[in-house]
Structure 1
């Protein structure tokens, strides 16, 4: 019988793989955003209770291979996955999606953490945050001269000096152009996530001559096999999925 796979996901690349898995396999989501209901594989929502909890789940479910296809900035989840696979005695494969690279006309600056980012934002008045939920923790510290726009997966009541946009990518170029023009952003703040789902915002920033502040990528753990392209990962799975009793 072919190995049983546990796929840790939550991003578009993981969903694309999950759509091709059969009913023996499990697609795991942390619980944020929409839960797909059209998959042939099993879907699990929620955490595992850290490294040890994930290792116990792997053993109890008879998992043979762990696939880490989480967000490039989900460093703690990736660390838990690599360690849990070691504890359970199975292999961990991971998708390490390449980050975006600055091109001609780009004005990009990498910042290490939130304090460095706040200092870099001082000259600006209308920043556009595409970092996820982290800026929500700092709404009460918005300087009087700034108005923030945050784009998140889920709704939030907002703040007197902040607008919350609840939306999920992919985002098209025309839609991003309209948003930037309407809101008069003067700086874009983003994670260097890579991929095409949210890349249009970078093109619009380039077109409008806006600076971009990029939160530095975290260091990810070593695993048995790491892939830079989801299709390469899928192809590597084929000999395993074809195994029969």
Structure 2
């Protein structure tokens, strides 16, 4: 049997983790809810960079590293790539396909926070769906704006920001209600791909609202890459059975 270390934190990763037995390890950064119903070992916290991860692979006799982290977790993916090379352990990755703009979409692509805030300047009621990053900027909100920030954890807002702690999947009906009640005039999103959070893009399209889209980071190429969790699970069957 090949012992597997699964780097997760996404719904796809959890789907894979539910198929792993007690000899395998599911690793989480610890920023979200930690599952308590898995048969595999659950490890929470960092490794100490690529060097620490390489030591862990060696110490725990890991035979396969699987990177199923978020498409924007670029540093973790880079560390996984470097550690796998240093420890001579193969690395597979789940690379969720990005969303593609459709007819009627008004996507405004940005690369960083500075470009994002510049693109946001003409609007007054943005919906942020970037996770925790906007929380560090709540004291920088321009006077003419009121932010709606959706992330996984509860967090205090202020006079110009409402924080929604919510976890997908989100429905089109639910997003329509949120957009109407909050008078959203622009959406800020990562191009995460998948179905769980795509409804916001459909509602933005219906309402002819712009979407400020953060470009995906470049991720390293590994031995095997998969675009669907089901395909990765199929490939893992001979290793986890």
Deviation of the 1:239 alpha carbon: 2.7
Shift of 1:209: 1.2
Counterpart secondary structure, 2:180:
helix
Residue by residue over 1:97-123, the C-alpha shift from the partner in whole angstroms, topping out at 9 and shown as x without a partner, is 110011111111111111111111111
Partners of 2:62 and 2:44 lie apart in 1 by 17
* Corresponding residue number in structure 2 for 1:93: 92
Map residues 37-186 of structure 1 onto 2, 5 A cutoff: 37-186=36-185
Task: Give ranges in structure 1 of 5+ residues lacking alignment.
Answer: none
- Aligned equivalents of 2:15, 2:123: Cα separation in 1: 38
Which residue matches 1:32?
Answer: 31
Q: 1:185 Cα shift? A: 0.3
Once the two structures are superposed, residues 127-161 of structure 1 have per-residue CA deviations (whole angstroms, 9 ceiling, x without a partner) of: 00001111112111111000011001111111220
Provide the alpha-carbon RMSD of the alignment.
0.9
Deviations along 1:147-184, one digit per CA (max 9) or x if unpaired, are 01100111111122011001111112211111111000
TM-score by length of 1: 0.96
Residue 198 (structure 1) aligns with: 197
Deviates more, 1:5-14 or 1:104-113: 104-113
TM superposition outliers: structure 1 runs of 4+ over 3 Å = none
Structure 1 distance, partners of 2:60, 2:173, is 46
- 1: distance between equivalents of 2:196 and 2:29? 20
CA distance in 2, matches of 1:171, 1:36: 20
Distance in structure 2 (CA, Å) of the matches to 1:136 and 1:239: 43
Note the C-alpha offset of 1:125: 0.5
CA contact (8 A) 2:21 2:40 kept: yes
Give unmatched runs, 5+ long, in structure 2: none
Q: 2: CA distance between counterparts of 1:16 and 1:65?
A: 18
- Residue 241 of structure 1 and its aligned partner are, at CA, apart by 3.0
**Partners of 2:21 and 2:67 in 1: how far apart?**
18
Does 2:14 match 1:4?
no
Counterpart for residue 229 of structure 1: 228
After superposition, the C-alpha distances for 1:72-94 in whole angstroms (9 at most, x for unaligned) are 00000000011111111110000
Give the whole-Å Cα distance in 2 for the aligned partners of 1:50 and 1:241: 27
* 2:66 and 2:93 in contact (8 A); partners too: yes
Q: State the 1:232 CA deviation.
A: 1.2
